[in-house]
Chain A
Amino acid sequence: MKQALKFLGGTVIITIAALIYLAKPDPLPQTVIPPHQTDVKNGQVMYNAGGCISCHKPEKGNLPSGGSPLKTPIGTFYPPNITPDKSTGIGSWSDLDFINAMQRGISPAGRHYFPAFPYTSYSRMKITDLLDLKAYLMTLKPVVASSRQFDKNYLRPALGLWKQLALADNSSRSSKQQNRGAYLVNGPGHCNECHTRRNIFMITDTGKPLAGAPHIDGKGKVPSLRNLKARKRFSDAKDLNNALRFGEILGYDNFSSGGMGDVQTNMSRLPNKDTMAIAEYLMSLK
């Protein structure tokens, strides 16, 4: 009996130790950053493709100084200031700090970010695009604005375990060639965060990407982006490109509700060749 208890106790301790080990932040090393001449203009494209302003918007103003409430099923977040203010923004971040935030969901202080910040998608981005994005953010006017803390911070350590699963198949520095549209949709555009159903672990189901999902606020659904032509949603890529660029201005009335309005506004700021690449990729999904 004593023996059995000892064994049980030992197993519990080893399991807890293993879980703590697995939950520890796992940052990328400095060596992932290649030599790179930053391109601010490309950074701005990434900023609009990612729609950073949609979540990091202030109550008033156009700079991403954060603070507007972002309601999610687990609570309300107040996304932080990402203008280059040194004390309240990201002005004092190193390039590696930025890469680890975007691809590993780890803050410069080594804490886990909640996946309301979609690093699961950004982990698919090219490091050079991220360096350009940071360079662009550094050109913005610094705004002094502290963000309100999330009220369930005690959950943060456990996020490490979730990340073990959620980031498992996102090899960020994959050498696999993919087309521009696929990259913009699955990387910076983070379309999967809403358009792909999540499994019981709240991880987007990569078996059926972009096939539609229940809406995060519980009402209605987010439409599937597959078989768009067969489903008579769009006649061709040009039609979808018009929808992305102009939305309701050209009568595409499903580009405003449920959060898509902000996405469409951001898309309208992309170069035409990029929205066209997105449209061509989406129209190709069967």
Chain B
Amino acid sequence: MQFSAKSLIMAATLSAMLALPASAGVIDERQEAMKAVGGAIKKLAAIAKGQMQFDANIVKSSAMTIKSSLETASSRFPEGSGEESGIKTRANPEIWLDEEGFAKAMKKAIAAAENMASVTKGEDFMPALGQLGGACKNCHKTFRAPEK
């Protein structure tokens, strides 16, 4: 009996020790992934602003970066990794209050990135960018907190 109580305490301590770094890990990973999205969007924006020529290969690789990074990010919002983790994050509690809505918004953004990856002609680029940027905004409006 004494042994199992001891092991229970051990297990609790261990998991408590693990919980914090685990949370820090996913928060770091999703923030890195979102930074990669931001970097790729900047490339597409440069094309839209005429600072860079339309190049189907750059468009495709940027869109694929956005898609895979969003997939990575969307799997890194476990419960407990919001502001209650004590780690600096702009993840709003709404992510966990409305998990379905959050998943839907993420899916919409991933679909928009896929659509962008299929763009081969210049004339399809702006509509695809509008859809993609709109999906970013749609999700951030509700699920991301203001700057800290």
Contacts and interface: CB of A to CB of B under 8 A. Distances in A.
Interface in A100-114: none
Given A220-B90, A220-B147, A250 B137 contact: no
A248 B145 contact: no
B69 to A, nearest CB: 14
A221 B147 contact: yes
Given A242-B49, A249-B134, A256-B141, A220 B38 contact: no
Contacts of A221: 146-148
B123 to A, nearest CB: 17
Contacts of A222: 146
B147 A219 contact: no
B140 A261 contact: yes
A37 B146 CA distance: 42
A251 interface: yes
A247 interface: yes
A258 interface: yes
Given A246-B133, A257-B141, A251 B146 contact: no
B137 A261 contact: yes
Contacts of A253: 38, 41, 136, 140
Contacts of B129: 249
B45 interface: yes
Interface string B35-50: 0001001101100110
A248 B147 contact: no
A249 B147 contact: no
Contacts of B146: 215, 219-222, 257-258
Q: Which of A219, A248, A255, A256 has the most CB of B within 10 A?
A: A248
Contact of B45 (A251, A258, A262): A251
A281 B96 CA distance: 40
Given A219-B146, A223-B147, A258-B146, A251 B137 contact: no
A264 B90 CA distance: 20
Interface string B121-148: 0000000011011101100110011111
Nearest to A219: B145
Given A242-B49, A251-B38, 8 more contacts: A220-B145, A220-B146, A221-B147, A246-B133, A250-B48, A250-B133, A251-B44, A257-B140
Interface of B: 38, 41-42, 44-45, 48-49, 83, 90, 129-130, 132-134, 136-137, 140-141, 144-148
Interface of A: 215, 219-223, 242, 246-251, 253-258, 261-262, 264
Minimum-distance CB pairs A-B, first 6: A249-B133, A258-B146, A220-B146, A256-B140, A251-B45, A261-B141
6 contacts: A221-B146, A248-B140, A249-B134, A257-B140, A257-B145, A264-B137
